[in-house]
């Protein structure tokens, strides 16, 4: 399975949506320009709370 992010609409999927497909189908979508490979990136935990003194 491969996760893709759509660049434009394809069937029931809208641009910017993500979905998992079998590798062969994902490669077809990417080659046709409908999607790009999408990788989940871990976001660094950041604190927005300032230390009170």
Residue ranges of the domains in the chain? Answer: 2-32
Looking at residue 25, what is its pLDDT? 98
Looking at residue 46, what is its pLDDT? 56
Helix ranges (H only) for the chain are 23-31
| Model pTM above 0.85 | no
Q: Do 35 and 5 form a contact (C-beta atoms < 8 A)?
A: yes
Alpha-carbon span 34 to 13, nearest angstrom: 10
Question: Which residues in the chain land under pLDDT 70?
Answer: 42-53
Tokens for 50? 């300032």
């Amino acid at each position: 399975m491969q996760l893709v992010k759509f660049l434009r609409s394809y069937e029931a999927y809208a641009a910017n949506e993500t979905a998992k497909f079998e590798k062969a189908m994902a490669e077809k979508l990417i080659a046709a320009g409908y999607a790009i490979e999408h990788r989940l990136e871990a976001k660094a935990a950041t604190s927005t709370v300032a230390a009170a003194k």
